[in-house]
Structure 1
């Protein structure tokens, strides 16, 4: 069996395993040989951590409520690292499926997989996780008798913001400084909802290999907050609007 045939068969077997269709290759003569395993599997630029950052920063927050869940998207990384044949293989709602497809379709060039030192097209199935999105029911208050509280109070809140905000170390050299103001709602259940940037300092590609902006990073941090103690008005928990600032300076660390 020549090298070209080996590579083609590898792609088929790789696709079958990832899609749970390995039973299609149970017939004699359709088992991959040892030299058909890849020298290198396809990889997002920077590896899995950068891929996770990319998905979280680039994800659009949908207007409708939806539970947490996952959408599995299959695609082929061709020999040039471009993504072809992007499709949902295990989805959720139509809007979430569309958002998962959008996230994959706008990805940067991947490092292609290789067999015997040569780039070959390989299929990948990627799980795109979605956080729960809560749309508050009822009125949203700006000021209430008892304001919402982050676990441990304001000091812990600002420690959380500073400790989880990731930015390059050379911001001062890049001439980047200022404040990002992020608005959000703490629902009457204590969940963080409707996160948006009120005023930012959006510098495209400022996060370099992380494929995001400082504004997107601020939104990511706020969306990842734990449950709050909700605000109270007349003894009842209510939805409350809050704003938090992120100070961007040379002390912001990646």
Structure 2
């Protein structure tokens, strides 16, 4: 009996602390749907969008990404995958490399992502909220750009 009470007293505060700060929801293609009733408090009804859509985002990268000479010499092509959070104000924050291509390309991807203008933020019941996204930054491959939500 005493050991059960002691265990409850020791683990109780940790459970309360773990529930106080929910992580942003990571959206995946085909998994977005409007919440008719209830649902998680941080699940958006509308995903974040770059102004002008994916084509405008691709154009932004074409205009701003400078293909690093070291990557060009080594014929490195592909995407640097960045993790970021689209905040309630539409600004990208917490930029981190999730999948590296080369150190030079990673640095260039982070530089260009920091230049992105504000997005239309995700909303739940009309209220903007932060949402984690994955953003591929293309290097020398000309592939179709898809933002993973």
Please state which band the TM-score falls in when normalised by the shorter chain: 0.5 to 0.7
Q: Distance in 2 between matches of 1:131 and 1:112?
A: 29
Q: Secondary structure at the match of 2:111?
A: helix
2:107 counterpart of 1:98 = yes
TM alignment of 1:1-254, pairs within 5 A? 9=22, 12=24, 14-15=25-26, 33=39, 37-64=43-70, 65=73, 66-131=75-140
RMSD: 2.3
Q: Secondary structure at the match of 1:39?
A: coil
Q: Distance in 2 between matches of 1:122 and 1:130?
A: 25
Gaps (5+ residues) in structure 1?
1-7, 19-31, 133-223, 225-254
Q: Distance in 2 between matches of 1:38 and 1:121?
A: 9
Q: Secondary structure at the match of 1:76?
A: strand
What is the TM-score when the length of structure 1 is the normalising length? 0.40
Q: State the number of aligned residues.
A: 110
Q: Secondary structure at the match of 1:60?
A: coil
Q: Distance in 2 between matches of 1:36 and 1:109?
A: 20
What is the TM-score when the length of structure 2 is the normalising length? 0.65
Q: Distance in 1 between matches of 2:42 and 2:115?
A: 30
In the TM superposition, residue 34 of structure 1 has moved relative to its aligned partner by 6.7
In the TM superposition, residue 69 of structure 1 has moved relative to its aligned partner by 1.3
Q: Secondary structure at the match of 2:69?
A: coil
Q: Distance in 2 between matches of 1:81 and 1:36?
A: 16
Q: Secondary structure at the match of 1:99?
A: helix
Gaps (5+ residues) in structure 2?
1-20, 29-37, 143-149
